[in-house]
Chain A
Amino acid sequence: MDESVILGIKDLYKSFGGVAATNGLTLDVLEREVHAVIGPNGAGKTTLVSQLTGVVLPDAGQVVFRGRDITRMPAYRRPHLGMARSFQITSIIHDMTVLENVVLAVQAKAGHSYRFWESAIIDDQLTEPAMRALTQVGLETEAMQVAGPLSHGEHRQLELAMVLATDPELVLLDEPTAGMGREDSTRMVSMLESLKGSRTIILVEHDMDAVFALADRITVMVEGRAIATGTPDVIRADRLVREAYLGEDINTAIKSARET
């Protein structure tokens, strides 16, 4: 295997009650690239991310992270290898403050948490990296507020801050701009741009402007399979992809995808 492959996905299958959400997916993600995964609704993008993070276990196939088979590794162990994910539907701890949310993310990486005596929230070893992550996403002034009542855009920022705070090698972002207005979404894209090159990013995204602005390579998924992988230029020019995603007629694309 190529030295620079950080994540190898081989022949992955997952079906839910007979519906194949992942249907023989094979894909290599390279070290330090931004790898965008696009595809129509229900193509299986979130299911893919969930299998990579261990939330959903595949029926068959293999996931290899840095030469290590992690296909069946429990979800809570994977972050310790250097993976972190954000959720398409915001997943934060609503009754805690913004800072506490991020402190937990730092804590997760700072050894075990069977420490019963010292207060966590006044521990510089936790709060300093947490504040740095919050500053990075522009949420530092909200640090002391309870997370739940914040706006949708702020929730998305917090979601990203929690990912950054774990300082991962591999970042899996499931539609980071989901439900954002144009302004917030532009800010999110420039934030992601600043991460580019320092870590590997798998970016699931519907916003094509964001995808073409950020991605080094793009994989197009239809019905649980990768129908094309390549640089933005290659993907733009690809006939199947144009039909599948960038064009209007998804059905023909699916049909031709089946034929190939």
Chain B
Amino acid sequence: MMPREKPYIKSNRQEIPAFAGMTSDAQPVTGNRQPVTVRVAVVGGGPAGMAAVGALAAMHIGVDWYEKEDRVGGKLNNYHQLFPDRVPASEAFGQLVKGTYHNHIDRHLGKAITSVGVNAGRISLNGKDHKIGEADAVILATGFDFFDARHKEEFGYGIYKHVITSADLETVFADGDKLLNVNGSAPASVAFVHCVGSRDEQVGVSYCSRLCCITGIKQAIQIRREYRETRVYNFYIDMRAFGRGYEELYREAQENHGVRFIRGRVSEASEDEQGRIRVKAEDTLMSRPIKLTVDWLVLLIGMSPSCSAVLSGKGEREKSFTNAENPLTGSAVKGQPGVFLAGCCAGPMSIPESVASGRSAAVQAAEYLNKKNGNSE
């Protein structure tokens, strides 16, 4: 993944060489290479893909692993610390990637799969204008795309310098950059806008992205840890802190870090003469309009679908996540026997959920191959 552009933030980032373990000759490979008769393709190298590959390797199933970037890791590569326990993203990456160093795994970096064709039990994986590979089963783990905040023009992303997204802020933290105000000192105030590109008919997105509330809590705390004097406000519609330890982190943000949570959607942002950001909203619990000027406005962007295009082979982006045939019991894709979904390409989920989903897809693929090859009991 390319480092995101942040022309206005002074960067301390050292050029990080591609993860050393990723070149095929530098890996501490485990497991004997046995003659394998079936091969599974895993498309996508994020947390879900890494988990699926690790599980398949542990079952001694041969894997062709495709990743469009020049390194695996997915979104994890640009994160700082993970909620709710503040585990460094690099540590989580290390744990997940460890399981993928195995003799039965062939990595294909820089390979984007644009369509998948199922034909008489064999599945072909195709690039833009040529076939890239073949497999007996495929796990799609193509993840999600960050919502493009420029579509919400009223918040001024890409127009005002001091409006950034939660994804930008993660890289600021991860790179050890400073979040300074226009005069080069610590910011006096920062506001977060929840539900940007989620739950919003104006941009055709009806679903909740599930993780932006807790991301907002995590990042608000991080700002308060780095800048003790900075006032932090979170403007939410509904607080959705659903996971293990999330509600506790919400409370910690209030009690220990003095983050102010205001129930009301920000309706618009504008820039004042000094380049600070003026915010308009309503405190719906007080029934009174709000005006606030902040040094940084952070948009908690939602997750947009990324893999329906791969599935349909149309190369078009559809505004929906891919549905499993029977989401209650598994992640097989309807009408595409042998194709399974893992991670955020099936809908917004956290990293532990994506990992569980990747492992589950690996088991489903193994079951499918067993049955197909007549090994079922």
Do the two chains belong together in a single complex?
no
